[in-house]
Amino acid sequence: MHYGTGMLTRCRDVLASEFDYCSDLNTTRFLKRIIQSEKPDFIAFTGDNIFGPSTHDAAESLLRAFGPAMDSGLPWAAVLGNHDQESTMTREELMSFISLMDYSVSQTNQPVDDLSSAAEGDVTKNIDGFGNYNLRVYGAPGSHLANRSVLNLFFLDSGDREVVQGIRTYGWIKESQLRWLRSVSKGYQGQRQDNNHLEEASVCAIPPAMVFFHIPIPEIQQLYNQQIVGKFQQRVSCSSMNSGVLKTIISMGVVKAVFVGHDHTNDFCGNLEGIWFCYGGGFGYHGYGKAGWPRRARIILAELEKGEKSWMGVERISTWKRLDDEKLSKLDEQVLWQSHPSFKMT
């Protein structure tokens, strides 16, 4: 959202003909419109929630930026970008504050006690960054999966800026964070065993997962000459370091899609080794954009499979975007994953 202070924080990269006056309040209005139109069950914020240099009170800016989410009463979660900490709070203070906000299910870092599903003795206790956590979405009430995870949402801190061999670059996801991801993933192998005895076990016993972080990984650059859904309009602003995020995510075997921010005029989804990597496109009006190219939000839909007796696990994950235009136009709808792939006969 790149939120500043509100009415006095002016918009960037908008046409003079679009608005009589444009400020952070346009971002607030867009967020309210999306919530009212889509009626989501959950909201995820992928970093640069506030633009540090434009505020002298980070806490106040956070309260204003996330105001519509809190007013909605919906659960929501956030990670940090590379600009959030450029004001009056450190990254640890920011995540701690965000985790305490109304209806937030964000965590500064996942407490070790919460990792009961992780393999014993393989839990990373000291994880780099702030905002590394796993949210479990449980099955439908009254179903045999009511107390089991049917979808996992992983949030990671991709850092801000670092210096490597004297050269400044963007942050990256560290090995300690990847070890934590692998540990949690191993824990879900046990869920497959537990589900085997269920009378109406889901085809996908180990729940699918999605991952959210801010700074894209270097491999996304490979999608420039590949088939994508959406627009690739700027270079991928990734770190010069490749820490093996893609390799780790592939090895987990459960991640179906990854959602990143950072590059405001990219809004595409592209497939890397069977996993979809998706940008949301620029949402906030104080962040840079492209004049005449509407701000936008990415919508994600996870649908449950209907069994003979009750709801089962996640059957399909799809996505589309909504534009902040007069009609909240919907575009680029696509299926990211389904538990029963359809095969076209020739």
SS3 47: coil
Sign of CA dihedral 173, 167, 50, 97: positive
Whether residue 193 has pLDDT greater than 60: no
Please report the DSSP string for 6-40 in residue order: STTSB-SS--TTT-SS-BHHHHHHHHHHHHHHH--
Per the prediction, the chain carries an average pLDDT of 92
Specify the pLDDT at position 186.
82
> All domains of the chain, ordered by start, with CATH?
24-111+121-187+204-338 (3.60.21.10)
Q: What would the mean pLDDT of 260-276 be, rounded to a whole number? A: 98
Q: Encode pLDDT of 279-336 as tens digits.
A: 999 999 999 999 999 999 999 999 999 999 899 999 999 999 999 999 999 999 999 9
SS3 248: helix
Q: Encode pLDDT of 11-29 as tens digits.
A: 999 999 999 999 999 999 9
Amino acid at 161: R
Residue by residue, what is the 3-state secondary structure of 108-148? CECCHHHCCCCCCCCCCCCCCCCCEEEEEEECCCCCCCCCC
Whether residue 203 has pLDDT greater than 60: no
Specify the pLDDT at position 189.
61
Amino acid at 136: R
Closest CA relative to residue 249, chosen from 222, 284, 278, 275: 275
Global pTM exceeds 0.95: no
